[in-house]
Amino acid sequence: MKDKEIGFYELPFGPAHSGSGNFMVKLKVDGERVVEARADPGYLHRGFEKLMEYRTPLQNAVVADRVCILEPLSWDLVHAEAVDEIMGWDIPERAKYIRVILAEFTRIQSHLIWFSGGSMATGFQTGFMIGIGYRDYILEHIFEPVTGARVYPTGYIRPGGVRWDLPKDFDKKCYNVLKKIEKAVEDFDKLLFSNPVFKERTQGVGVLSKEDAIRLGATGPIIRASGIETDVRRDDPYEIYDELEFNIPVMDEGDAYSRFFIGRMEIVESMKIIRQAMERMPRGEYSLKVNPFMKMKKGESYARIEAARGEAAIYMVSTGDRKPYRVKIRGPSFLHLIPVLEFLLKDQQIADVPTIYWSMNTCPADMDR
């Protein structure tokens, strides 16, 4: 559609576009140049925050899965921590280790999806197939035997601990999958990060400066790619992260390539975390005894974690009923897809829109919740 007054065309990217994922950004273009971008995220209509106010904490453990299909266990974790804080629970040590292991596997498989989307956005279909293929090792050999489901983990991480203990052969499966992920990193180094075409499409594209990253509220890999060393696991430790050794990858370029490469380095650090947790895993109980119809204590909590996409948080208020009075979700994708993406797309070429979009590692589902 052409704007008669200023001579620009309005070009929609999404929501049906295969690279947008239930998300639209309305572009005003002058030839091949983007003049203005306006994000329009509302295409899922789910209302999870209000749904949680009509359900008990154990019922909401399953609802939390759905906040973001790309990393459901991260949302299980932050919801469980919000309830644990209100109830004043100190969960068993074994449950903390299990939570961390699954949270890091969730980060890895989410980053593999990220690389797959980034490959597709730059016209490299092979990279998409490779990423999805390696992700399946985690779904089949970790998530399914542990949680009972491949994608949505049925509220496995829940208030009070985890739903049940790890299977007896988990150690063997865990280390076998880590070997596969090591091979995945090697393959992406050769096929993507050393690929001159991928470099040409991403280096120097969609540059987000350190000052703009702070001003626009970026978190996670996005702000770390712009030179800010921040990570909730280190800055405000939860579970057992303060007992583990790992690095916070940081780059200074702030371009699309740096954002993708931060994800690559984070996979290596996640594998390091998983190995330490497996070696130190204590025996004992995996959950407190939680009455499914219990009344919550009166109070409020704010729980935050370092999810794959950045800082994820839940603010919860309880009046002492069986259900929370208010639930507010802080998802990392909202700020990345509204102010940050709109800012980065201005004066870019139309062909670079999918590349910049996928470099943000976003989940439209966690915005329209």
Question: Is the residue at 193 inside a domain?
Answer: yes
Cα(7)–Cα(269) distance, rounded to whole angstroms?
49
Examine the pLDDT at 341 and tell me if it is beyond 60.
yes
Question: Is the residue at 5 inside a domain?
Answer: no
Examine the pLDDT at 3 and tell me if it is beyond 70.
no
Least reliable range by pLDDT among 1-5, 232-236, 239-243: 1-5
Q: Which residues touch 12 (CB under 8 Å, ≥6 apart)?
A: 24, 25, 26, 27
- Could you read off the pLDDT of 268-303 as tens digits, one per residue? 999 999 999 999 999 999 999 999 999 999 999 999
Q: Which two tokens stand for residue 66?
A: 């759905």
Using DSSP, state whether 110 is helix, strand or coil: helix
Using DSSP, state whether 351 is helix, strand or coil: helix
**Pairing between β-strand 24-30 and β-strand 33-40 as defined by DSSP bridges:** antiparallel
Question: Is the residue at 361 inside a domain?
Answer: yes
Examine the pLDDT at 357 and tell me if it is beyond 80.
yes
Residue 281 pLDDT? 96
Question: Is the residue at 32 inside a domain?
Answer: no
Say if residues 71 and 309 touch (Cβ distance below 8 Å): yes
pLDDT average, residue stretch 13-35: 84
Say if residues 10 and 1 touch (Cβ distance below 8 Å): yes
Least reliable range by pLDDT among 34-43, 208-217, 264-273: 34-43
Examine the pLDDT at 155 and tell me if it is beyond 80.
yes
Say if residues 130 and 191 touch (Cβ distance below 8 Å): yes
Question: Is the residue at 4 inside a domain?
Answer: no
| 123 band by pLDDT with thresholds 50, 70 and 90 | confident
Say if residues 311 and 304 touch (Cβ distance below 8 Å): yes
In degrees, rounded to 5, the angle at the alpha carbon of residue 306 between the alpha carbons of residues 273 and 79 is 110
> Amino acid identity of 30?
D
Residue 285 pLDDT? 97
Helix (H) or strand (E) holding 127: helix 125-138
Residue 18 pLDDT? 65
Examine the pLDDT at 2 and tell me if it is beyond 60.
no
Angle between helices 72-87 and 93-121 in degrees, nearest 10: 150
Question: Is the residue at 252 inside a domain?
Answer: yes
Q: What is the pTM of this model?
A: 0.94
CA neighbours within 13 Å on the CB side: how many for 124? 23
Using DSSP, state whether 196 is helix, strand or coil: helix
Examine the pLDDT at 1 and tell me if it is beyond 60.
no
Residue 4 pLDDT? 54
Question: Is the residue at 29 inside a domain?
Answer: no
Least reliable range by pLDDT among 74-78, 124-128, 311-315: 124-128
Examine the pLDDT at 19 and tell me if it is beyond 80.
no
Q: What is the CATH number of the domain that holds 134?
A: 1.10.645.10
- Count of structural domains, the chain: 1
| 6 band by pLDDT with thresholds 50, 70 and 90 | low
Write out the residue range of the structural domain in which residue 97 sits. 46-366
Question: Is the residue at 67 inside a domain?
Answer: yes
Say if residues 111 and 9 touch (Cβ distance below 8 Å): no
| 265 band by pLDDT with thresholds 50, 70 and 90 | very high
Q: Which residues touch 57 (CB under 8 Å, ≥6 apart)?
A: 83, 158, 159, 290, 294, 296, 324
